[in-house]
Amino acid sequence: MKARKKLKTDAAPAIGEHLLRLQEAAEVLRLSTRTVREYVKRGEIKGKIIGKCWRFRRADVDAFFENAPSEWDFGGKDNHRD
- Asked: is 18-67 a CATH 1.10.1660.10 domain? The reply is yes
Residue ranges per domain, the chain? Answer: 18-67
CA–CA separation, 72 vs 31, rounded Å? 14
Ranges of residues in the chain with a pLDDT under 50 are 7, 9, 80, 82
The pLDDT value recorded for residue 16 is: 57
Task: Collapse the DSSP code of 77 into the 3-class scheme (helix H, G, I; strand E, B; otherwise coil) and give the result.
Answer: coil
Cα–Cα distance between 47 and 41 in angstroms, integer? 9
Q: What pTM was computed for the model?
A: 0.65
Element (DSSP H or E) covering residue 56: strand 53-57
Q: What does the pLDDT read at residue 70?
A: 75
Distance (Å, whole) CA 40 – CA 45? 5
